[in-house]
Chain A
Amino acid sequence: MLEINGYEAMAMLDLDEAERKQLAMHIEGLKESFSALDSVDTSGILPLVSVPQLQNVLREDVADKMMSRDEILKNAPEQYDGYFQVPGTLD
């Protein structure tokens, strides 16, 4: 079975054994199907990240009304005194 613990850590997931086994099987199958890409020579071809030819567009530096603090905090799972509340990050 494909070892996927490293990818779990990268994706910030902690699967149980049943899920890990099921998904590892699918990932192995998908990975195999990706070998089809090896047959194409892409030397000299630039990656296409997004379809439109985007150009950097700068707006005028004019202050605009954004969401208020209360509106932003409305969807926070926990808040305290106008801030997002998180567990201690320093020992």
Chain B
Amino acid sequence: MDYFVTKYDTNHSGGADCAVLEDSIMKKGSPVTAGSRMLADFISPIDATAVTKLESAGVTILGKMRMDEFGVGGLFPSLETSSCSGAAAAVADGVAAFALCNDYTGAVSLEAAALGLYYIQPTYGTVSRYGLVPAVASMDQIGIICKSLVEGFRALSIISGFDDKDGVMQAEQRLDNDNAQPMEHPEHKLRIALPKNVFSDNFDSISSHLLERLGDVEIVDIELKYSELYAPVMQILCCAEFSNNISRYDGIKFGYRTKEYTSLQELYTKSRTEAFGLEVKLAALMGALVLSQENYTRLYDKAMRIRRLMRDALQFDQCDIIAAPFPCLSRLCGLPAVTMPCGGNALTLMVAPGREDVLNTVLKDRKHI
């Protein structure tokens, strides 16, 4: 399998201290396609802040990896297109210690877990998106695919931190995941919530795997309210934001331009129709639908209100970690999370915003659970 879209000429043989980038993250002077014909000839004019930070820390970037077009395919399982993250495959094969990518749909996380890897999703707004090809603004976040959580959290310590070039950065603080201290729970054991309503027939198996591997933890039963609405709310919000974001691709300032046109309108329409693939077209049409006058209130506005209900229903006062079989809740609510393999399934562990240290201390010294 050829994972690389662009390979840099380095003397590094790969492995430790090496990273690869999903092809939506910019490295100055080299192509960034986001997997789209639209950006086939686009040369990055800047370095992404995350890339600058990695290189300053002595990490060698080996290249850019193949991805689904703008990473949007994961939103539409019904299209049955095969997802393929070159970044996950490369880390699984030991080409690099870790990879950076923007997994706003959660599809790459699941793919990584199926390959025996971890995906670290940082708290929304703690890693700069400057130099990331935008897709879904309220969920775009650079995360880390890794084989070892020690390496993964070390990388997170390097790339996180305030950057005034990203308008959603939250605080002028660096997540010191490299030196996270063991958690102290004088009053209770570590409480992991396994909501029965989202683990159908594999609750017992997941529960026993967690107890066996994490040792002395308390399994808490909470209910994840509105879980039946995660998929439609994700689809509505992602399509609305995605269609808005890709309106910049008009064949004028950058990106693909059709060869034959007779008017400006035709230039726009033909350039987009010829360059975008099926999933992107579906997302653009769905975005137009949910934002249209007839559907805005019933779909887009309503989805945003339900998103608030979902976030407010999280019961972090009753548990330290919430486990779920899917990563989408962490994207909707901006929660830090680790998705990992667990007894033949993918499991996502989420914590309260900014509490990556909980996941780090609980998981990093352990083998796959």
Task: Give min CB distance, B271 to chain A, whole Å.
Answer: 8
**Does chain B have a CB within 8 A of A82?**
no
Residues of B within 8 A of A7 (CB): 285, 288-289, 292
Q: Is B1 an interface residue (CB 8 A)?
A: no
Residues of B contacting A30 with CB < 8 Å? 76, 78, 232, 235, 286
CB-based contact A37/B284 at 8 Å: no
Main secondary structure on A side of the interface with B: loop
Point out the residue from B164, B236, B252, B284 that lies within 8 Å of A84, measured CB to CB: B252
Nearest CB in chain B: distance from A14 CB, A: 5
9-residue interface stretch from B92-100, B179-187, B261-269, B337-345: B261-269
Chain A residues with Cβ under 8 A from B278's Cβ?
19, 22-23
Asked whether A76 is an interface residue with its Cβ less than 8 Å from the other chain, the reply is: yes
A31 cross-chain contacts in B, Cβ below 8 A: 289
For chain B, residues 122 to 142, give those with C-beta under 8 angstroms from any C-beta of chain A: 124-125, 137-138
Does A63 lie at the interface of the complex (its beta carbon under 8 Å from any beta carbon of B)? no
A52 to B215, CA, bound (A): 34
Name the B residues within 8 Å of A57 (CB-CB).
167
User: Would you call A12 an interface residue if the criterion is a C-beta within 8 Å of the partner chain's C-beta atoms?
Assistant: yes
Given A37-B299, A47-B304; A12-B289 close (CB under 8 Å): no
In contact, B273 and A15 (Cβ under 8 angstroms): yes
Closest to A47 in B: B304
Please determine whether A54 and B255 come into contact, CB atoms closer than 8 angstroms.
Answer: no
A11 to B267 CA separation, bound complex (whole angstroms)? 14
Assess whether A13 is interfacial by the CB under 8 Å rule. yes
Interface centre among B125, B262, B276, B308 (most CB of A within 10 A): B308
CB-defined contacts of B308 to chain A, threshold 8 Å = 45-48
B168's closest neighbor in chain A, by CB? A52
Instruction: Give B21 Cβ to nearest chain A Cβ, in Å.
Output: 19
Query: Once bound together, how far apart are the Cα atoms of A71 and B299, in whole Å?
Result: 41
Q: Which of B45, B124, B232 contacts A36 (CB 8 A)?
A: B232
Partner of B168, one of A54, A86, A88: A54
**Assembled-state Cα–Cα distance A34/B41 (Å):** 37
Taking CB as reference atom, which chain B residue is nearest A40? B306
Interface residues of B in 31-47 (CB under 8 A from A): 41-43, 45-46
With both chains docked as a complex, state the minimum distance between the C-beta of B286 and any C-beta of chain A, in angstroms.
Answer: 6
CB distance from A26 to the nearest CB of B (A): 6
Q: How far, in whole Å, are A13 and B274 apart by their CA atoms in the complex?
A: 9
Choose one: A50, A72, A86; the contact of B137 (CB below 8 Å): A50
Identify the closest chain A residue to B39 (Cβ): A75
Q: Is the CB of B281 within 8 A of A49?
A: no
B190 beta carbon closer than 8 Å to chain A:
no
Q: Evaluate contact between B311 and A27: CB separation under 8 angstroms.
A: no
Q: Cβ of A86: which chain B residues have Cβ within 8 Å of it?
A: 252, 264, 267
Instruction: For the complex, give the distance between the alpha carbons of A67 and B333 in Å.
Output: 35
Q: Which of A27, A48, A52, A89 has the most CB of B within 10 A?
A: A48
Tell me if A52 and B170 are in contact (CB < 8 A): yes
State the 5 A-B residue pairs at the shortest beta-carbon distance, nearest first: A51-B334, A47-B304, A77-B257, A48-B308, A42-B305
Given contacts A12-B268, A86-B252, 14 further A-B contacts (CB under 8 A): A12-B247, A13-B269, A13-B272, A15-B281, A19-B281, A30-B76, A36-B229, A37-B232, A51-B333, A54-B167, A77-B251, A77-B257, A87-B263, A87-B267
Q: Can you list 9 A-B pairs, Cβ within 8 angstroms, ordered by A?
A: A6-B292, A31-B289, A36-B232, A48-B308, A52-B124, A52-B334, A74-B45, A75-B255, A84-B252
Q: Which A residues form the contact surface with B (CB < 8 A)?
A: 4, 6-8, 10-15, 19, 22-23, 26-27, 29-31, 33-34, 36-38, 40, 42, 45-52, 54, 57, 59, 67, 71-72, 74-78, 84, 86-89
